[in-house]
Amino acid sequence: MPLDQIIIERISADTGVSAKQAEAVIGLLEQQATVPFIARYRKEVTGNLDEVQIRSVDEKRAHYKLLLERRDTVLKSIDEQGKLTEELKNKILACYERNELEDLYLPYKPKRKTKAGTAVEKGLEPLAKYIWDQVPGEKAIEELAEGLVNSEKGVNTKEEAIEGALHILAEWISEDLEIRKSIRQMMLQEGTIVSKVVKGREGQKTKYDMYYDFHEPVSKIPSHRMLAIRRGVKEQILSYTIEIDTEKALRLISGLVIREVQSAFAALLERAVKDSYDRLIYPSIQSEIRTMLKERSDAEAIKVFEANLTNLLLAPPAGSLTVLGIDPGFRTGCKVAVVDGTGKFLEYATIFPTEPKKDIPRSEAILYRLIQKHDVQAIAIGNGTASRESDAFVREFLRKYHAEETFDLSLLNPPAPKPKPSGSEARAPETTEGMPSVDGPEGAGSSVAAEVAATLGEEPADSLPQVPLADAEPAVAPREEIPSTVAAAQAAAHEERGGAPAPVVEAAPPSSGEATPLEQPVAVGAVEAPLIVNPPAAAPEPEPLPEARHKVFAILVNESGASVYSASEEARREFPRLDLTIRGAISIARRLQDPLAELVKIHPKSVGVGQYQHDVDQKKLKEGLEASVESCVNQVGVELNNASYALLRYVSGLNQRLAKNIVEYRNQHGRFRSRAELMSIPGFGERTFQQAAGFLRIVEGDNPLDGTAVHPESYAVVESIALALGTHPAGLIGNHELLQNLDLQPFCTESLGLYTLKDIKQELLKPGRDPREKFVVPSFRDDVKDVADLKVGMVLEGTVTNVTNFGAFVDVGVHQDGLVHVSELSNRFVKDPREAVRVGEIVKVQVIGVDLDMKRISLSMKALLPKIKKPQPSRAERDTRRRQAPKAERAAQSGRPARDRDRRPAQARPDPAKQQDRPRESARKDHGHKERDAKSRPEQAVKQAARKEPAPSVPLNLSFEEKIRLLQEKFSGIR
CA distances to 128, 138, 149, 169, 253 from 131, in Å: 5, 13, 17, 8, 16
- pLDDT per position as a tens digit, 890-926: 555 555 554 444 444 444 444 444 444 444 444 444 4
Tell me the residue type at 206.
Answer: T
Q: Cα–Cα distances in Å, from 273 out to 170, 171, 287? A: 6, 10, 19
Burial 334-357 (b: 16+ CB within 10 A, else e): bbbbbbbeebebbbbbbbbbbeeb
**Lowest-confidence segment of 99-108, 363-372, 441-450, 625-634 by average pLDDT:** 441-450
Does the pLDDT at position 952 exceed 70? no
Element spanning 843, H or E: strand 842-851
pLDDT tens track for 748-792: 887 788 999 999 998 888 887 788 888 877 666 767 777 888 889
pLDDT for res 932? 47
DSSP 8-state secondary structure symbol assigned to residue 824: G
pTM (two decimals): 0.70
pLDDT at 477: 34
By the 8 A CB rule, do 466 and 433 touch? yes
Beta strands in 94-219, from DSSP E residues, in sequence order: 192-197, 213-217
Beta carbons within 8 Å of 634's beta carbon, 6+ residues apart: 36, 40, 650, 651, 652, 695
Alpha carbon distance 475, 480 (integer Å): 14
Diameter over CA atoms, the chain: 129
Tell me the three state secondary structure of residue 217.
strand
Tell me how crowded residue 616 is: count the other CB atoms within 10 A of its CB.
Answer: 24
What CA–CA distance (Å, rounded) separates 784 from 384? Answer: 16
* Residues 212, 197 contacting (CB under 8 angstroms): yes
Q: Which stretch of 114-128, 380-394, 682-696 has the lowest confidence by average pLDDT?
A: 380-394
Distance CA 163, CA 119 (A): 9
Q: What is the predicted pLDDT for the residue at 970?
A: 66
Distances, alpha carbon 366 to alpha carbons 179, 468, 970, in Å:
77, 11, 88
Return the top range by mean pLDDT from 71-85, 461-475, 720-734, 745-759: 71-85
> Taking a C-beta distance cutoff of 8 angstroms, is the pair 791, 846 a contact?
no
Rounded-to-10 torsion of CA 744, 747, 748, 753: -50
**H/E element, 687:** helix 686-692
Element (H, E) at 803: strand 795-804
Alpha carbons 283 and 281: distance in angstroms, whole number:
6
Q: Residue 743: pLDDT band by 50, 70, 90 thresholds?
A: confident
The answer to whether 508 and 576 have CB atoms below 8 angstroms apart is yes
What's the whole-number mean pLDDT along residues 175-199? 95
| Percentage of residues in the chain having pLDDT higher than 70 | 77
Distance in Å from the first CA to the final CA of the chain: 74
Q: Are 469 and 502 in contact (CB under 8 A)?
A: yes
Are 224 and 804 spatial neighbours (Cβ–Cβ below 8 Å)? yes
Strands 446-447 and 430-431: parallel
